[in-house]
Structure 1
Amino acid sequence: MSQDPPRIVIAGAGHAGGSAAAFLRQYGWKGAIVLVGEEPNAPYQRPPLSKAWLKGEATAESLALRPARFYAQQTIELRLGTRVGALDRTARQVTLSDGAVLGYDRLILALGARPRALPLPGAELAGVKALRGIADADALQAALGPGRRLAVIGGGYIGLEVAASARALGAEAVVIEREARVLARVAGHTLSAFLAAQHWAHGVEILTDAQVAAIEGEAGAARAVLLADGRRIPCDAVLVGIGAVPNSELAEAAGLDCAGGIVVDLAARSSDPAIYAIGDCTHRPLPLYGRSGRLESVPNAIEQAKQAAADICGRPPPSPEVPWFWSDQFDLRLQMAGLAFAAHEVVVRGTPDAPGFAVFHLDAEHRVLAVEAVNAPADFMAGRLLVAKQARVPPATLRDTTQPLRGITI
């Protein structure tokens, strides 16, 4: 369905959707842009929610992706407090949850992901929380403080970040992880062991190989986590951090190709040429690794927003980027670049029993696949470049801290 002027509707006002709207204007799109968001807030940064916002160190202004005046200045229409509830690809229109119908020339699905629900007895009790938006963070913050105890189910980055923030707020924290180590699915053994030790040193109890059986309550509120081996972990609140599920139901119902996320190409195009998808809801190519997958990160959201905006505006596609991530816990700055698929060897640069080291993951030909850095920004930046260039570097060279990595001849 064509409008005069042409219209782009962006479904989802998170980091991906907000960035796409801005890039469209930056790249020269003159038509209408409507940004639809389920939350009452204009696009904001989510990573600080588990850290600075939870600890009371951030403001709504510092969290905002762009100043409030930006959207009016760029003639970007915000439709907040509503969501796209139905998609008619034939008519090229979407129906919002408030009943409004919008036609589109191009549609960008920036639907994000939602916390995976805990399918166990007691998950519905008061005090059992997940963390995705500002309202979630505010509710969690209210449950923390001196004399309180938080049980975190899931030893991923969100769980560890919240545990660190809980300690900063004076609460006790215990992390319950079903795998043999924390970060088992997203980090190597060296970084995992280091972070576990740091959490123990800061008073966080970590239970691994621990299977949750149920959450027990009193008067309708969570009071303990019951493990499969019979252990009972008393608590005042529970954070469930067991991963995220892509919000791809709208796309699936509309008949778009989906496979654990909305399938897109390197221009963020879906199987419908008028529809793009970006951010956490997508299953995208990973050209450096010869495969595809789903990435949950701000850098990925921004990269795909650029891809979609460039394609719509007829600009050359941006160069594929190295996937990268970060996390802040206590006084530690973690920076990771690349994906350790088919890693054959692990090389540690520096001393892994203290901050200021990096871990490199190499394939059988000593090609740098990924780097994990702790308070080592120079090694992270150099490692990220090595990953991008698919550089082959002798392990001895990586271990030699007397030689700056920036000086390596590739």
Structure 2
Amino acid sequence: MSARRIAIVGAGHAGGRVAQHLIELDGTCQVLLIGDEPYAPYERPALSKAVLAGEQAWSELMLAADGFWSSHPGLVRITARVVGLDRGRRCLSLADGRQIEFDELVVAIGGAPRSLRVPGGDLPGLHVLRGIDDCDKLATTLVPGSRLLVIGAGVIGMEVAATASGLGVTVTVLDVSDQIMRRCLPAPVSQWLASQHQQVGVAFKSQVGVQSIAHDGAVYRVRVQGAGGACEVLEAEQVLLAIGIDCNTGFLQQAGIGCQNGVVVDASCRSPDTPWCYAVGDVANCDNAFYGRLMRQETWRNAENQALAVARQIAGVAQRYAEIPWMWTDQLGHNIQVVGLIDDADGHVWRGDLSQGRATMVLLRDGRVVAAVMVNQGKERKALEALIRERRVVDKSLLSDLSVSLKAVAA
């Protein structure tokens, strides 16, 4: 009997972890790890921070030593781009013409930086930040005294703004929203973080839309329009597009795999209409067993934990995926962590004083903890996660009392 062939499309963090776990859990299967980057699987969070700043080598981001990926008998690593899927034959088509047959498929393609659909939005030299090569290209341009326009005030945009300002670059951040990191942070924390950036010289242009980008060989000229209709032109030597990612699931949709905001999968991370197809990481729009709704998470921990859940499913160990979202960002010497879903809240209490740079905003709905934002208070995360998972009503006075530990409240 031949070994089961498990094809993993996407050799980044999530795909690499699935491969590692499968090899550990089922030594009889053959794992085919297919990705279009020349690098072995690696973690990405440091690319916008320590690696971009020159404080860490990208070689330190690898999930395992090179020898694991090149010589493990149960693993075949294929560097190529997947362009098609024959659902009936269970066969992948690669851009170089090869055909890869499989028994089960794991989609771990992540996402590609979203393009800016305006005149000049595809000019050569515009930066994005998704992989090692992007980081290397951007890092070489961040010289003291130069100017950087960051289009997009999400996590990547703000982390790059923090890193670049620390390198002596003059940074201006443009965004269509009225607050930075709007998807991640409640308004009070967003405003506080923006003030920290402004104190080191980062400028903001909020509620503006980019109309066009031009380049004269020396500087970029970005034309923006404000909410009131007034236009202005901003100049910089470098421009970073940080407006999110798109999940490029075209080859899957053409094969009839259900896709909507990524690959739609059930609480077992499996396609409801194609049981041999799984999805993991940024591309997985998963029916979260805790929240009872579809959720796509672009976080480090989701890549870690969902990879293990998928590997266990394939290995025959049933596990419903019930991840509570958790993300973190390090900017300007501050660590900010968010757990839960901030949009589910109808009220909040504070632990500590944010103006002092150390506080936790506990978000509630009907008296139950649904989320929390910790500013330099990461030690409270596990207790807050426990409170979110328990869904019990908690006395607000206990949550706000710094003399009472959250660990005791959660006990």
Q: Which range, TM-score by smaller chain? A: over 0.9
Q: Which amino acid aligns with 1:261?
A: G
Counterparts of 1:361 and 1:287, CA distance in 2: 21
Distance 1:218 1:299, change over 3 A: same
CA contact (8 A) 2:29 2:74 kept: no
Task: Give the C-alpha shift of residue 84 in structure 1.
Answer: 1.4
Counterparts of 2:143 and 2:11, CA distance in 1: 31
- The structure 1 residue matched to 2:170, chosen from 161, 169, 172, is 172
Q: Which amino acid aligns with 1:66?
A: A
CA contact (8 A) 2:52 2:136 kept: yes
Task: Give the C-alpha shift of residue 112 in structure 1.
Answer: 0.8
Which residue number corresponds to residue 388 of structure 1? 389
Q: Which amino acid aligns with 2:344?
A: A
Counterparts of 1:7 and 1:222, CA distance in 2: 51
Which residue number corresponds to residue 127 of structure 1? 125
Q: Which amino acid aligns with 1:243?
A: G
Report whether the alignment pairs 1:262 with 2:267. Answer: no
Q: Which amino acid aligns with 1:196?
A: A
DSSP-derived class of the 2:266 partner: coil
Which residue number corresponds to residue 404 of structure 2? 403
The 5-angstrom pairing of residues 231-270 of structure 1 reads: 231-270=232-271
Which residue number corresponds to residue 11 of structure 2? 13
Task: Give the C-alpha shift of residue 186 in structure 1.
Answer: 2.3
Counterparts of 1:248 and 1:88, CA distance in 2: 14
Counterparts of 1:377 and 1:234, CA distance in 2: 38
TM-score, L = length of structure 2: 0.95
- The structure 2 residue matched to 1:339, chosen from 338, 341, 364, is 341
DSSP-derived class of the 2:165 partner: helix
Task: Give the C-alpha shift of residue 61 in structure 1.
Answer: 2.6
Task: Give the C-alpha shift of residue 382 in structure 1.
Answer: 1.7
Cα RMSD for the two superposed structures: 1.6
Report whether the alignment pairs 1:292 with 2:294. Answer: yes
- The structure 1 residue matched to 2:146, chosen from 136, 145, 148, is 148
Counterparts of 2:67 and 2:367, CA distance in 1: 50
Report whether the alignment pairs 1:303 with 2:301. Answer: no
**Which consecutive unaligned segments of at least 5 residues does structure 1 have?**
none
Q: Which amino acid aligns with 2:187?
A: H
CA contact (8 A) 2:84 2:252 kept: no
1:69-109 CA distance string (max 9 Å, x none): 222246311112x1211111111111111211111011111
Counterparts of 2:393 and 2:250, CA distance in 1: 42
Which residue number corresponds to residue 78 of structure 1? 77
Which residue number corresponds to residue 360 of structure 1? 362
Which residue number corresponds to residue 221 of structure 2? 224
Counterparts of 1:293 and 1:43, CA distance in 2: 24
Counterparts of 2:359 and 2:101, CA distance in 1: 52
Distance 1:108 1:247, change over 3 A: same
Task: Give the C-alpha shift of residue 31 in structure 1.
Answer: 1.4
TM-score, L = length of structure 1: 0.95
Distance 1:350 1:284, change over 3 A: same
Report whether the alignment pairs 1:92 with 2:90. Answer: yes
CA contact (8 A) 1:190 1:359 kept: no
Counterparts of 2:42 and 2:142, CA distance in 1: 23
Q: Which amino acid aligns with 1:76?
A: L
Report whether the alignment pairs 1:325 with 2:327. Answer: yes
DSSP-derived class of the 1:381 partner: helix
Task: Give the C-alpha shift of residue 208 in structure 1.
Answer: 1.2
CA contact (8 A) 1:306 1:318 kept: no
Task: Give the C-alpha shift of residue 319 in structure 1.
Answer: 5.8
Q: Which amino acid aligns with 2:253?
A: E
DSSP-derived class of the 2:363 partner: strand
Counterparts of 2:41 and 2:62, CA distance in 1: 6
Task: Give the C-alpha shift of residue 198 in structure 1.
Answer: 0.7
Counterparts of 1:164 and 1:13, CA distance in 2: 29
The 5-angstrom pairing of residues 191-210 of structure 1 reads: 191-210=189-208
**Which consecutive unaligned segments of at least 5 residues does structure 2 have?**
none
Which residue number corresponds to residue 20 of structure 2? 22
Task: Give the C-alpha shift of residue 222 in structure 1.
Answer: 4.7
Q: Which amino acid aligns with 1:331?
A: G
CA contact (8 A) 1:310 1:318 kept: no
Q: Which amino acid aligns with 2:221?
A: A
Counterparts of 2:346 and 2:124, CA distance in 1: 46
The 5-angstrom pairing of residues 181-192 of structure 1 reads: 181-192=179-190
Counterparts of 1:75 and 1:29, CA distance in 2: 7
Task: Give the C-alpha shift of residue 289 in structure 1.
Answer: 2.5
Counterparts of 1:388 and 1:405, CA distance in 2: 14
- Number of aligned residue pairs: give it: 405
CA contact (8 A) 1:16 1:279 kept: yes
Q: Which amino acid aligns with 2:199?
A: A
Task: Give the C-alpha shift of residue 345 in structure 1.
Answer: 0.1
DSSP-derived class of the 2:270 partner: coil
Which residue number corresponds to residue 64 of structure 1? 62
- Which segment drifts farther, 369-378 or 333-342? 333-342
CA contact (8 A) 1:150 1:172 kept: yes
- Which segment drifts farther, 59-68 or 44-53? 59-68
Which residue number corresponds to residue 212 of structure 1? 210
Q: Which amino acid aligns with 1:381?
A: K
Distance 1:409 1:281, change over 3 A: closer
